[in-house]
């Protein structure tokens, strides 16, 4: 017989077979003895909730204040070496108040504090809104610590009921109706419940969650509980609808097909949430309120922590009237201790940079002249064109560099520019004098020869091709905005801005209307050139190389275009320059 | 602090490039400009610029006319009288002209006049001391006349200095043919065959007998027309030497004339260009003479005047003179003051 045939045979035989469960089996399975022990001990016990407890718990103000007080100035210490890993070369020895120097970090810390506060408030508020769950959970389901186990035992669970916490709206201990409701909730036969423990208990959870009484949703995190505590609670959980619900859900979650929807407390989880739930495999999570679940997806990175945080261990003695604010503090301390270090990421220093730097630079300039005829004759323009040719000039300046971020910077300063123009013209009848020493042999008489050395001046006449360097000088204020990128060692930037002319003056010669060369002395007013050439546009690409901690060298090819003519409207021609050059200089960090 | 110093140093270095640089120029000489012609000529050509000097500096001549058929005495103030006898002037062919003839007279009174007329007081290389010289030209219908054989002209003229007693008549020997313009570089004075001494006279000035002003002069009998002078050879017993004048290279024998003007006697010596030594020299200069070296140059359209006082011609006989550009008027004033 093949295996397949054997399977079919067995299946046919056993398909409709039903075997009764032996009496006590379930008790054995469920550790009935343990349950009986507990039943005997706490069956008739009820733990009255101290008056005002709920008010203290549910009153958000003290707690908020407490949490706020604890977290307001809280800063998570950055692990040693973290900065070295992030910025291994940076040594921050700057002086001054750190918050001013690094507002980004301050903002990040404040944001972290705000987030933490909001989170705490949110958790608390959420718990407050579901007092029957959150509060109860806090009050009851903290037996993660061993020392609380016995206190948990004190919780009255009559009729094997789970520790039913009163209706938060009543804020009263469990009595009367609440108990009845609890009974109603927990009125599911054990057997049936056990039998269907692995089934989707969609109906049961709905019943429990939709009950008028507060759904019992003890947020017990087995992982957070001690092994013994988990063992102690296991039967109780199993016997109670809500507990069974979570166990069911847990089972469902664990055994859920990939495309199956998870319904917890009437909430339908998406696949993504399901995956997250599966990833966490935390049954407590399943019993979280709708609000928590809804919010769950927004705090994915911390969901584990959140889950842990929800299960704040606390002593049950609070029910004995010890839930004071100090208890809350203790609880909060434990609460916060349950957080894995909320790592506040190192401030993104690139987002804010307060560096102030000073640049000193010089540049060879190449000027490109643009001349347009106004009223000049063609002969004049030809003579001018043949006489003038541009030469290399220079620019030198100093400017401050303010980093808006590590990438964006603003530069402003002062600079001096000098454009040089070669002007060649010819002058006639120029006399050049040369000092010469002449040696003459004079024969005064036969046999009487005298050598006479005479220093005299030789004059020569001719024409002179004069070369004059016309200097077009200006004093400007450059204001640029740049974007730079790269690593610490080498950065490339793009800069653009304007150059405001403060003053311009000229020295040299020019061709007058009679084609004669006339000089323009420095400081003399003339009718040709302006004393202020106005606005210019600037664009450049910079390459910055780090030389030291506070010293950089940079080269910046640039182009400057003057928007207006440098000549006056009365001039016979319009002339303007466009400059190109390569600025080379040093950048000093003034913050160090 | 170190950073600040470093930054300031860098910044100041940037502005070093702002220093003004020297302007460059390209001087190109004119190829044919006289100033750039520093070459000397072995033989000065007739078109050299020195010949332009005579046109500029020649003393003004006196033009007159008289009746040749009778004796005529022409008086020009109280310093000059010229007397022609009837029929003393004939044509070169010996024909006796009739009617009025034209007289052109140039008188060399002072040392500057000798320079202006480029008639140094030398006879060959011998130095002369002069009392005065005349250029007398008589023409009829544009043709030069000559003195008839045996005829003479009596010239009575005053001297600017005290009269010398032993002056003789010297006749100017010109180049043949006589240059129509320019300097007669071959000109020299030659003593007349009649070596008799020239008479001197003294009279009261025509300004008025009461003035007490005396006119002292010479009465010279001339047997030749054109250049004639009352001169004498200087003391030949004193040692003589050769003096040399050195000028800058721009001044050559083509554009410059050099004279030595004696201070204490009316003697003007021309220092001729010495090509080998590129200098101007004159021989037979008495040692210990006090003189003034005068150079006159014509370069292009410019005139240059150079002077140098030599107080004692001695062991140093080479004198460097640097002419300066002078206008003609200044040069004439200077020459008249000599």
- Residues of chain B whose beta carbon is less than 8 angstroms from a beta carbon of chain A are 3, 7, 10-11, 14-15, 17-18, 21, 23-30, 33, 35-36, 38, 241-242, 244, 246-250, 274, 276-279, 281, 317-318, 320, 322
In angstroms, the separation between the Cα of residue B337 and the nearest Cα of chain A is 28
Mean pLDDT of B22-40: 82
pLDDT of amino acid A442? 85
Q: Tally DSSP H helices, then E strands, for chain B.
A: 4, 23
Model confidence over A20-44: pLDDT tens digits?
777 767 666 655 566 677 677 777 7
Mean pLDDT of B84-110: 87
pLDDT of amino acid B2? 67
Nearest CA in chain B to A585: B10
pLDDT band at B236 (very low <50, low <70, confident <90, very high): confident
pLDDT of amino acid B177? 75
pLDDT of amino acid A520? 80
Nearest CA in chain B to A424: B25
Q: Tell me which residue in B36, B249, B320 faces A436 most closely, judged by beta carbons.
A: B249
HSE-up (13 A, CA, CB side) for residue B321:
34
In angstroms, the separation between the Cα of residue B83 and the nearest Cα of chain A is 46
Query: How far, in Å, CA of A22 to CA of A2, rounded?
Result: 34
Query: How far, in Å, CA of A501 to CA of B294, rounded?
Result: 64
Whether A240 and A179 have beta carbons less than 8 Å apart is answered as: no
Query: How far, in Å, CA of A30 to CA of A18, rounded?
Result: 22
**Rounded (5°) CA angle A321-A323-A329:** 160
Query: How far, in Å, CA of B268 to CA of B229, rounded?
Result: 13
- Closest by alpha carbon to B81, among B223, B207, B215, B189? B215
Query: A458–B250: do the CB atoms touch at under 8 Å?
Result: yes
In angstroms, the separation between the Cα of residue B302 and the nearest Cα of chain A is 13
- List all residues 6 or more positions away from A505 whose beta carbon is below 8 Å from its beta carbon: A473, A474, A522, A523, A531
Whether A357 and A389 have beta carbons less than 8 Å apart is answered as: no
In angstroms, the separation between the Cα of residue A400 and the nearest Cα of chain B is 13
In angstroms, the separation between the Cα of residue B165 and the nearest Cα of chain A is 34
pLDDT of residue A246 exceeding 60, the answer is: no
pLDDT of amino acid B328? 92
Q: Tell me which residue in B17, B25, B322 faces A456 most closely, judged by beta carbons.
A: B322
> Parallel, antiparallel, or unpaired for β B199-204 and B214-222?
antiparallel
pLDDT of amino acid A448? 82
Phi/psi region, residue A524 (left: phi>0; alpha: psi -120 to 50; beta: rest), is beta
In angstroms, the separation between the Cα of residue A471 and the nearest Cα of chain B is 9
pLDDT of amino acid A272? 52
Average the pLDDT over each of A219-223, A391-395, A537-541, B143-147 and give the range with the smallest value.
A219-223
Model confidence over B268-313: pLDDT tens digits?
999 989 898 899 999 888 888 899 999 999 998 899 999 999 988 8
Q: Tell me which residue in B17, B29, B242 faces A444 most closely, judged by beta carbons.
A: B242
Report yes or no: A74 at the B interface, CB cutoff 8 Å. Answer: no
pLDDT of amino acid B24? 62
Cβ contacts from A onto B, under 8 A: 109
Instruction: Calculate what percentage of chain B has a pLDDT beyond 70.
Output: 91
Query: B318–A452: do the CB atoms touch at under 8 Å?
Result: yes
- Closest by alpha carbon to B72, among B39, B101, B52, B38? B101
> Which residues of chain A lie closer than 8 angstroms to B27, CB-CB?
430, 432, 460, 462-465
Whether B252 and A458 have beta carbons less than 8 Å apart is answered as: no
Query: How far, in Å, CA of A533 to CA of A574, rounded?
Result: 12
pLDDT of residue A194 exceeding 60, the answer is: no
* A4 or B23: which leads in pLDDT: A4
pLDDT of amino acid A84? 61
Determine which of B17, B243, B251, B281 to mutate to test the interface with A (most A C-beta atoms within 10 Å): B17
pLDDT of amino acid A21? 75
- List all residues 6 or more positions away from A1 whose beta carbon is below 8 Å from its beta carbon: A9
Query: A461–B320: do the CB atoms touch at under 8 Å?
Result: no
Report for A156-170, A346-360, B7-21, B31-45: range of highest mean pLDDT: B31-45
Structure tokens belonging to residue A294: 């809804």
Model confidence over A41-57: pLDDT tens digits?
777 777 777 777 776 66
Query: How far, in Å, CA of B179 to CA of B177, rounded?
Result: 6
Report yes or no: A389 at the B interface, CB cutoff 8 Å. Answer: no
Whether A463 and A429 have beta carbons less than 8 Å apart is answered as: yes
Would the pTM of this model clear 0.80, i.e. be above it?
Answer: no
* A98 or B141: which leads in pLDDT: B141
pLDDT band at A118 (very low <50, low <70, confident <90, very high): low
pLDDT of residue A312 exceeding 50, the answer is: no
In angstroms, the separation between the Cα of residue A442 and the nearest Cα of chain B is 6
pLDDT of residue A168 exceeding 60, the answer is: no
Query: B28–A442: do the CB atoms touch at under 8 Å?
Result: no
Report yes or no: A414 at the B interface, CB cutoff 8 Å. Answer: no
Q: Tell me which residue in B17, B248, B277 faces A394 most closely, judged by beta carbons.
A: B17
Q: Which residue carries 């945080």 as its tokens?
A: A309
pLDDT of amino acid B210? 63
B177: cis peptide before it, omega within 30°? yes
Report yes or no: A342 at the B interface, CB cutoff 8 Å. Answer: no
Query: B27–A456: do the CB atoms touch at under 8 Å?
Result: no
Write down the H helix ranges in chain B: 2-14, 51-57, 111-116, 328-336
Report for A59-68, A359-368, A515-524, B57-66: range of highest mean pLDDT: A359-368
Beta bridge partners of B174: none
Q: Tell me which residue in A360, A462, A469 faces B10 most closely, judged by beta carbons.
A: A360
In angstroms, the separation between the Cα of residue A458 and the nearest Cα of chain B is 6
Query: B30–A463: do the CB atoms touch at under 8 Å?
Result: yes
Mean pLDDT of B194-222: 80
DSSP 8-state code for residue A550: T
pLDDT band at A485 (very low <50, low <70, confident <90, very high): very high
How many CB atoms sit inside 10 A of residue A503's CB? 11
Nearest CA in chain A to B33: A461
- B130, with CB counted inside 10 A (0-12, 13-18, 19+), is buried
Report yes or no: A418 at the B interface, CB cutoff 8 Å. Answer: yes
Determine which of B26, B295, B313, B321 to mutate to test the interface with A (most A C-beta atoms within 10 Å): B26
The alpha-carbon radius of gyration of chain A (Å, integer) is 46
Query: How far, in Å, CA of A189 to CA of A193, rounded?
Result: 6
Query: A396–B18: do the CB atoms touch at under 8 Å?
Result: yes
* A444 or A367: which leads in pLDDT: A367
- Closest by alpha carbon to A259, among A267, A269, A246, A248? A269
């Amino acid at each position: 017989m093949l295996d397949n045939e054997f399977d079919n045979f067995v299946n046919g035989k056993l398909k409709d077979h039903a075997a009764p469960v032996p009496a006590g089996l379930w008790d054995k399975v469920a550790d009935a003895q343990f349950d009986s022990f507990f039943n005997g001990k706490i069956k008739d016990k009820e733990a009255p909730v101290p008056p005002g407890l709920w008010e203290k718990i549910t009153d958000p103000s003290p707690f908020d204040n407490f949490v706020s007080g604890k977290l307001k100035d809280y800063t998570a210490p950055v692990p040693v070496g973290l900065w070295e890993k992030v910025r291994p070369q940076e040594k921050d020895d700057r002086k001054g108040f750190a918050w001013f120097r690094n507002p980004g970090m301050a903002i990040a810390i404040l944001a972290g504090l705000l987030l933490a506060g909001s989170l705490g408030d949110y958790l608390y508020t959420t718990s407050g809104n579901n007092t029957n769950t959150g509060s109860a959970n806090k009050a009851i389901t903290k037996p993660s610590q061993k020392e609380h186990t016995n206190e948990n035992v004190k919780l009255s669970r009559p009729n094997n009921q789970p520790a039913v916490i009163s209706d938060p709206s009543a804020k009263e201990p469990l009595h009367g109706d609440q108990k009845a409701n609890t009974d109603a909730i927990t009125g599911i036969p054990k057997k049936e419940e056990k039998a269907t423990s692995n089934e989707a208990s969609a109906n049961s959870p709905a019943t429990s969650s939709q009950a008028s009484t507060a759904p019992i949703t003890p947020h017990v995190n087995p992982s957070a509980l001690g092994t013994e505590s988990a063992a102690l609670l296991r039967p109780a959980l199993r016997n109670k609808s809500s507990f069974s619900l979570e166990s069911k859900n847990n089972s469902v979650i664990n055994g859920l097909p990939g495309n199956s929807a998870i319904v917890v407390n009437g909430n339908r989880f998406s696949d993504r949430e399901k995956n997250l739930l599966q990833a966490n495999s935390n049954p407590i999570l399943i019993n979280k309120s709708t609000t928590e679940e809804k919010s769950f997806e927004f705090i994915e990175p911390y969901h584990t922590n959140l889950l842990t945080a929800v299960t704040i261990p606390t002593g049950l003695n609070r029910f004995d009237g010890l839930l004071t604010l100090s208890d809350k503090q203790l609880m909060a301390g434990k609460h916060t201790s349950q957080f894995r270090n909320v790592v506040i990421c190192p401030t993104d220093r690139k987002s804010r940079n307060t560096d102030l730097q000073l640049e000193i630079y010089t540049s060879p300039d190449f000027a490109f002249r643009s001349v347009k005829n106004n009223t000049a004759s063609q002969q004049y323009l030809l003579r001018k064109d043949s006489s003038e040719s541009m030469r290399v000039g220079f620019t030198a300046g100093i400017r401050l560099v303010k980093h808006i971020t590590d990438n964006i910077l603003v530069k402003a300063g002062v600079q001096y520019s000098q454009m040089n123009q070669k002007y060649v013209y010819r002058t006639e009848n120029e006399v050049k004098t040369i000092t010469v020493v002449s040696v003459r042999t004079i024969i005064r008489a036969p046999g009487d020869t005298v050598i006479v050395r005479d220093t005299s001046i030789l004059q020569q006449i001719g024409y002179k091709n004069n070369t004059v360097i016309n200097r077009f000088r200006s004093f400007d204020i450059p204001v640029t905005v740049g974007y730079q990128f790269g690593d610490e060692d080498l950065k490339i930037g793009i800069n653009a801005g304007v150059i405001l002319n403060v003053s311009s003056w000229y020295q040299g010669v020019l061709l007058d209307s009679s084609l004669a060369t006339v000089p323009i002395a420095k400081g003399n007013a003339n009718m040709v050139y302006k004393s202020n050439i106005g606005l210019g546009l600037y664009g450049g690409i910079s390459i910055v190389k780090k030389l030291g901690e506070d010293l950089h060298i940079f080269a910046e090819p640039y182009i400057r275009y003057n928007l207006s003519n440098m000549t006056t409207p009365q001039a016979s021609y319009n002339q303007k320059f466009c400059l190109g050059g390569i600025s080379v200089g040093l950048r000093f960090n003034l913050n160090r | 602090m170190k950073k600040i110093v470093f930054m300031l140093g860098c910044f100041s270095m940037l502005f070093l490039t702002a220093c003004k640089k020297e302007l460059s120029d390209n001087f190109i000489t004119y190829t044919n400009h006289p100033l750039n012609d520093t070459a000397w000529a072995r033989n000065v050509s007739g078109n050299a610029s020195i010949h332009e000097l005579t046109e500029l500096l020649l003393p003004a001549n006196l033009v007159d006319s008289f009746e040749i058929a009778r004796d005529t005495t022409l008086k020009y103030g109280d310093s000059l009288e010229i007397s022609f006898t009837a029929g003393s002037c004939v044509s070169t062919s010996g024909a006796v002209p009739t009617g009025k003839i034209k007289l052109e007279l140039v008188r060399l009174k002072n040392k500057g006049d000798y320079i202006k007329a480029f008639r140094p007081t030398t006879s060959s290389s011998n130095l002369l001391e002069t009392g005065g010289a005349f250029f007398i030209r008589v023409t009829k219908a544009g043709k030069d006349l000559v003195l008839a054989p045996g005829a003479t002209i009596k010239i009575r003229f005053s001297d600017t200095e005290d009269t010398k007693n032993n002056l003789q008549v010297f006749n100017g020997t010109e180049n043949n043919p006589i240059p129509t313009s320019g300097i007669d570089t071959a000109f020299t004075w030659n003593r007349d065959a009649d070596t008799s001494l020239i008479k001197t006279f003294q009279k009261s000035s025509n300004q008025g007998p009461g003035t007490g002003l005396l006119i002292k002069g010479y009465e010279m009998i001339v047997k030749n027309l054109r250049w004639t002078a009352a001169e004498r050879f200087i003391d030949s017993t004193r040692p003589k030497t050769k003096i040399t004048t050195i000028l800058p290279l721009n001044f050559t024998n083509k554009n410059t004339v050099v004279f030595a003007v004696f201070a204490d006697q009316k003697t003007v010596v021309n220092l001729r260009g010495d090509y080998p030594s590129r200098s101007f020299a004159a021989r037979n200069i008495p040692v210990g003479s006090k003189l003034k070296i005068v150079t006159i140059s014509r370069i292009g359209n410019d005139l240059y005047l150079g002077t140098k006082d030599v107080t004692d011609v001695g062991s140093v006989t080479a004198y460097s003179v640097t002419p300066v550009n002078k206008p003609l008027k200044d040069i004439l004033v200077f020459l008249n003051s000599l």
